[in-house]
Structure 1
Amino acid sequence: MSNESNQWNSNFSFLMAMIGSAVGLGNIWRYPYVLYSNGGGSFMIPYIVAIVLLGLSGVLLEYAIGFKFKTSLLEIYGKIKTKFRVIAWFTVLIVFLILSYYVCVVGWDLIYLILSFFKGWGADPNNYFVNSVLQNNPTAGGLVQFVPGVFFSCLVVWFFIWFISHRNINKGISKFSNVAVPLLFILVVVIVGFSLTLPGASLGYTTMFTPEWGALLNTDIWLAAFGQIIFSLSIGMAIAITYSSYLGKGTNLTKNAGIVVASNSGFEVFNAIGVFSILGFMAVSTGVGFENLITEGTGLAFIAFPQVFNVMGGAAYIIGPVFFFCILIAGLTSAIALMESVSASLITEFGFSRKRAVTIICVIGFCVTAIFTTGAGSTVLGIFDKILNNFALILAIIFECVIFAWFYNIDKLIDVLNQNTSIRIVGKWWKYVIKFILPIVLLVLWVSSLVSTLSFDDELSLVIELLLFAVLLIVPFLLNHFAKRKSSKAAEQ
């Protein structure tokens, strides 16, 4: 089923949707920690290399695929080789599972957005987040411990995703992205501008840009840069393939790819200046060492920043809500993009209407998300995040590169990328990157990540890891078998 009848009403809408999909939680709370812990200012060198080799090359590949085939990932892989449909189902399953726990994190932020108006986390944000919000119980018994606050906030997030996604792309995703993404950038400018006026801000951004040149000899730093680009640009999730399949014939793909990659990376670096400046203020105000303040993920957003807002004074009642609202916007735009990637496959594979496909995904997705709204939810979520991003997603990107570089005539994609440009930008260099350099780099990253992913800390973690691996290995074959049977029955009728 072609997507040619389902097109963006403007190139601006496509850009806003793509930038919204890329600018997510990883940009706001992952990048500052990765930057700080991997050489500071010197990290920018491997980061820029990763942007060109993986970021720009990967985005160009997915834009060309979507624009060329004008359909979902499942049909694209099936057209190249029928057996590749299982790999496509593997990718779709990864995206669906990432969406299921991503919604929970957005749900946590929704709770903190409300709390930020009156600093409801109290004097001990760490204790409040762990014991009051999460009601953390990392045992088997925690799986049957209901956490109502997180449950209902996730329900609200899922409803919002359904409300936007079940509509036509121009009435839903386009309208939302055209407002949400520019608003997000404006609010981040406000936060960064304010942060630079705080006492101690210079300590923060000086720490951010101070290089450790010896770190460049450490291969882990380079792997960290490539890993950040994967998470940041949502490569391998079929989002760019899906969104670009809705583009009109005269679109300049290389220009759009450059704008999206530059916007995403620029946002990361600019936002990091604000984060470091605010943490610099915290370090000066409390005397706590900077290394004890900078952390990754939920620790930064839901513990470190509430601690900052507690010592900030009256301004925190404005900056706090703006900060958590920014996270909410970034989370929702990315979640909606993940939804579109999955729903497009169901629509083309089973002939569902958009409303039916989105509704089915939301219902099943909410059931999976419910696991993360238990006392053991944060533990399970951490395992999902680790395995899906460090193992499964990187493997899916390797498959994507190999399929289109070795089983498809990649020169056709080069022609697609150059057909609406006055200068032939993409040439043999890109072909060699996709064919050789990228798969090798990704394979090294995958092996390194796999070693660090497998943990046998406790029995619960081991069981969950084994179950998740089983789901990733078995369910794609079951889905493919079910789809083939349905297709055969339809052909007989």
Structure 2
Amino acid sequence: MILLIGLPIVMAEFTIGRKAQSDAVGSFEKLSPGGDRLAPGEPWKIAGIMGVAAAFMILSFYGVIAGWLFFYLLNYLTGNLWTAPEGGYGDFFGTFIASSSQPIIWQFIFMFVTVGIVYVGVKKGIERANKILMPLLGVLLIVLSIYGLTLGGAKEGLTFLFSPDWSALSDPSIYLAALGQAFFSLSLGMGALITYGGYLSKKERLPGAAASVVSLDTLFAIVAGLMIFPAVFAFNINPAEGPGLVFVVMPDVFNSFTLGGVFGILFFFLLSAAALTSAVSLLEVAVAYFIRKFSWNRKKATLIVGFIIFLVGIPSALSQGVLAGYGLGGLDIIDSVDFIASNIFLPLGGLIIAIFMGWGWKKSDALRDSDFGDTRLGRTWIFLLRYIAPVAILIVFLGSVGAFN
């Protein structure tokens, strides 16, 4: 999914953004006015609108989970989690997320910081922090993954992570999950790469940028798996617990060695910083759109949009407590919002982007604007956008909704 669909669409979004120098919706409006180069514009901007909507939805629950990170960071800074609390880390986490007030408070704190960064501007805020914090996070993940391999559950963890169950491929939902994860992880279809592409200069080489984004994203997903799953089996924890693994497994890991509390501080600080970078990307998508659409200044747009997203996220904050049991098809509220955004809006937005770039643009223009030029690699990229990506996305999407049953 990443190689045949994700990477080509990353390139397409970068190309669209840099060419248009606008927000997610404005880029489609600007680049598709009709004429002999591009098809008429109105249908195409649906992808941008869906991207802005997806960014709203994703940040609404992402801010909740990131607030949990802030809460844990504070508890490590105060020393409260340097040793296992009464009942263990699992009970501590469960009690916190089931509270009727604490998750909302920490969601608000995280959104307040996110709004503050976007308020002062992307370049002054997030770019400076990224240059220091993200390499540090990468190093820490590698160190913790090496330590994880020394734990008693390393063999079981590696087997769980890398031994495929081929029978699972007969379930269409597997393909949708893989597609949704690829789009979510690479920020595809939500307008983030188009928006950031608008900040790139002509000096930037887009193929190299796209390849580095995809390869590093995939590499550190694997590193994170090496960090988590050996510890999961070493401490006899259910590997299907989802986000809770970070908040239950890693504290147990830190508690197992000397000065583990220091590692806990570093881990949750850097993970919080990583969450901020993603949240800023999501908020910037919506803010850039509102700035252009309503002629607001950055400060006004950031405050209004940020507050609305906070309000929309409150049900997700309460989904593990007073609103537990509500959701779609047996999912809780967080997973329901995630499913709609990641498995419906993002793939459909990606489908439109692939068709827009592959068929709406002249091939020669697409190859030139993407920095590929008329090369074999460039022609392969156009082929994937025209035939492979749209067909694969459509088949996976239709299969997931039972169209082939």
Task: Output the TM-score relative to the length of structure 2.
Answer: 0.84
- In structure 2, do the counterparts of structure 1 residues 218 and 166 end up closer, same or farther at CA, with 3 Å as the change threshold? same
Partner of 2:98 in structure 1? Answer: 135
Q: How does 1:157-196 map to 2 (within 5 A)?
A: 157-196=110-149
Q: Identity over the aligned pairs, expressed in percent?
A: 29
Partner of 1:371 in structure 2? Answer: 315
Task: Name the amino acid aligned to 1:58.
Answer: I
| Rounded Cα–Cα distance in structure 2 between residues aligned with 1:198 and 1:126 | 20
Give yes or no for the alignment of 1:122 onto 2:82.
no
| Rounded Cα–Cα distance in structure 2 between residues aligned with 1:114 and 1:234 | 29
Task: Name the amino acid aligned to 1:393.
Answer: L
Q: Would the aligned equivalents of 2:25 and 2:45 in 1 still touch at CA under 8 Å?
A: yes
What CA RMSD, in Å, does the superposition of the two structures yield over aligned residues? 2.7
Deviation string 1:344-385 (CA, Å, 9 cap, x unpaired) is: 111222222222221111121122122333334563222211
Shift of 1:434: 1.0
- In structure 2, do the counterparts of structure 1 residues 262 and 162 end up closer, same or farther at CA, with 3 Å as the change threshold? same
Partner of 1:26 in structure 2? Answer: none
Partner of 2:262 in structure 1? Answer: 318
Shift of 1:207: 4.1
Deviation string 1:400-439 (CA, Å, 9 cap, x unpaired) is: 22233333435422211226x8x93643222121112111
Partner of 2:396 in structure 1? Answer: 445
| Rounded Cα–Cα distance in structure 2 between residues aligned with 1:411 and 1:52 | 23
- In structure 2, do the counterparts of structure 1 residues 160 and 425 end up closer, same or farther at CA, with 3 Å as the change threshold? farther
Partner of 1:141 in structure 2? Answer: none
| Rounded Cα–Cα distance in structure 2 between residues aligned with 1:52 and 1:121 | 44
Shift of 1:220: 5.5
| Rounded Cα–Cα distance in structure 2 between residues aligned with 1:192 and 1:430 | 34
Shift of 1:159: 1.3
Give yes or no for the alignment of 1:336 onto 2:280.
yes
| Rounded Cα–Cα distance in structure 1 between residues aligned with 2:14 and 2:119 | 23
| Rounded Cα–Cα distance in structure 1 between residues aligned with 2:385 and 2:312 | 35
2:71 counterpart (108, 111, 121): 111
Deviation string 1:18-40 (CA, Å, 9 cap, x unpaired) is: xxxxxxxxxxxxxxxxxxxxxxx
Shift of 1:114: 2.9
Deviation string 1:168-197 (CA, Å, 9 cap, x unpaired) is: 332112112212211211221221232233
Give yes or no for the alignment of 1:71 onto 2:16.
no
- In structure 2, do the counterparts of structure 1 residues 73 and 333 end up closer, same or farther at CA, with 3 Å as the change threshold? same
1:204 counterpart (149, 152, 157): 157
Q: Would the aligned equivalents of 1:188 and 1:326 in 2 still touch at CA under 8 Å?
A: no
Q: Would the aligned equivalents of 1:121 and 1:306 in 2 still touch at CA under 8 Å?
A: no
| Rounded Cα–Cα distance in structure 1 between residues aligned with 2:139 and 2:125 | 22
Partner of 1:46 in structure 2? Answer: none
Shift of 1:202: 3.9
Q: How does 1:285-364 map to 2 (within 5 A)?
A: 288=236, 293-306=238-251, 312=256, 314-364=258-308
Shift of 1:440: 1.5
| Rounded Cα–Cα distance in structure 2 between residues aligned with 1:449 and 1:299 | 26
Give yes or no for the alignment of 1:82 onto 2:45.
no
Task: Name the amino acid aligned to 1:96.
Answer: F
- Mind listing any 5+ residue stretches in structure 2 that lack a counterpart? 33-40, 325-331
Deviation string 1:105-148 (CA, Å, 9 cap, x unpaired) is: 10112222233443365324444433x21227xxxxxxxxxx22
- In structure 2, do the counterparts of structure 1 residues 84 and 207 end up closer, same or farther at CA, with 3 Å as the change threshold? closer
- Mind listing any 5+ residue stretches in structure 1 that lack a counterpart? 1-49, 137-146, 283-287, 453-493
Shift of 1:89: 2.1
- In structure 2, do the counterparts of structure 1 residues 121 and 369 end up closer, same or farther at CA, with 3 Å as the change threshold? farther
- In structure 2, do the counterparts of structure 1 residues 149 and 221 end up closer, same or farther at CA, with 3 Å as the change threshold? closer
Task: Name the amino acid aligned to 1:432.
Answer: F
More deviation, 296-305/237-246: 296-305
- In structure 2, do the counterparts of structure 1 residues 108 and 304 end up closer, same or farther at CA, with 3 Å as the change threshold? same
| Rounded Cα–Cα distance in structure 1 between residues aligned with 2:176 and 2:110 | 33
Q: How does 1:15-30 map to 2 (within 5 A)?
A: none
Secondary structure of 1:95's aligned partner:
helix
Partner of 1:95 in structure 2? Answer: 55
Q: How does 1:275-290 map to 2 (within 5 A)?
A: 275-282=228-235, 288=236
Task: Output the TM-score relative to the length of structure 1.
Answer: 0.70
- In structure 2, do the counterparts of structure 1 residues 124 and 198 end up closer, same or farther at CA, with 3 Å as the change threshold? closer
- In structure 2, do the counterparts of structure 1 residues 74 and 113 end up closer, same or farther at CA, with 3 Å as the change threshold? same
Shift of 1:309: 5.3
Q: How does 1:214-293 map to 2 (within 5 A)?
A: 221-282=174-235, 288=236, 293=238
2:108 counterpart (155, 164, 173): 155
Q: Would the aligned equivalents of 2:145 and 2:227 in 1 still touch at CA under 8 Å?
A: yes
Secondary structure of 1:109's aligned partner:
helix
Secondary structure of 2:58's aligned partner:
helix
Count of residues paired in the alignment: 381
Deviation string 1:63-91 (CA, Å, 9 cap, x unpaired) is: 11111111112122223113444442232
Deviation string 1:305-339 (CA, Å, 9 cap, x unpaired) is: 445556x2555423433333343222111111111
Partner of 2:327 in structure 1? Answer: none
- In structure 2, do the counterparts of structure 1 residues 424 and 436 end up closer, same or farther at CA, with 3 Å as the change threshold? closer
Q: Would the aligned equivalents of 1:254 and 1:417 in 2 still touch at CA under 8 Å?
A: yes
Secondary structure of 1:171's aligned partner:
helix
Task: Name the amino acid aligned to 1:171.
Answer: K
Q: Would the aligned equivalents of 1:66 and 1:242 in 2 still touch at CA under 8 Å?
A: yes
Shift of 1:242: 1.0
